Amino acid sequence: MENFGENYLENIRTLFRYYKLLGDGALTQLSAENIHTCLNPESNSMAIIVKHVSGNMLSRWTDFLASDGEKEWRNREGEFEDTIKDKADLLAVWEKGWACLFNAIDPLQNADLQKIAYIRNEGHSVVEAINRQLGHYSYHIGQMVFLAKYFAGDNWQSLSIAKGDSQKFNAEKFSQDKQRKNFV
């Protein structure tokens, strides 16, 4: 097997892109009129979730390894104020956060994995910092998929194995030779 560190970096790059793809799929199926809709007073709209995820990405990944991941300029509380104008604005905010993340993780090399990244003055190995963010983003992207699926109703196009297709999907997978590859 190739170097563990290089394998890890390849895997997390793939996983971040996979979660972005799920978020993209949810946003594609979201109608303009549901961008600001909350299911109840304690829940967040798609606009708020996207704004928070992007704000977190910009803070965590700007100057990654050179400065604390909680930037002085970040206004986390402001991320929960709905200032998104329309779907174009929503998509621009979404893409800005992901561009920052990929600009930070794509150049990482095996030697970087032992370095320390600080988040709110707490030191994390690069692996720990990456895993922390991967968990955080997948949590919120799951919320995004749920909301988009709820609003789309019967028009929802599955982003995974559709209900009723598990046997067909597994039969196709098991009809192939075993191979080492990422599930994405």
Secondary element (H or E) of residue 57? helix 46-61
Say how far apart CA 50 and CA 79 lie, in whole Å. Answer: 9
> pLDDT tens digit string along 62-116?
999 999 999 999 999 999 999 999 999 999 999 999 999 999 999 999 999 999 9
CA dihedral 158, 162, 163, 169 (to 10 degrees): -170
Q: Take residue 181 and report the two structure tokens written for it.
A: 């590859």
Domains recognised in the chain with CATH numbers: 4-174 (1.20.120.450)
pLDDT at 2 (0 to 100): 57
Please give the angle made by the CA atoms of 45, 49 and 50, to the nearest 5 degrees: 115
Provide DSSP, 91-141: HHHHHHHHHHHHHHHTT--GGGGGSEEEETTEEEEHHHHHHHHHHHHHHHH
> pLDDT tens digit string along 113-152?
999 999 999 999 999 999 999 999 999 999 999 999 999 9
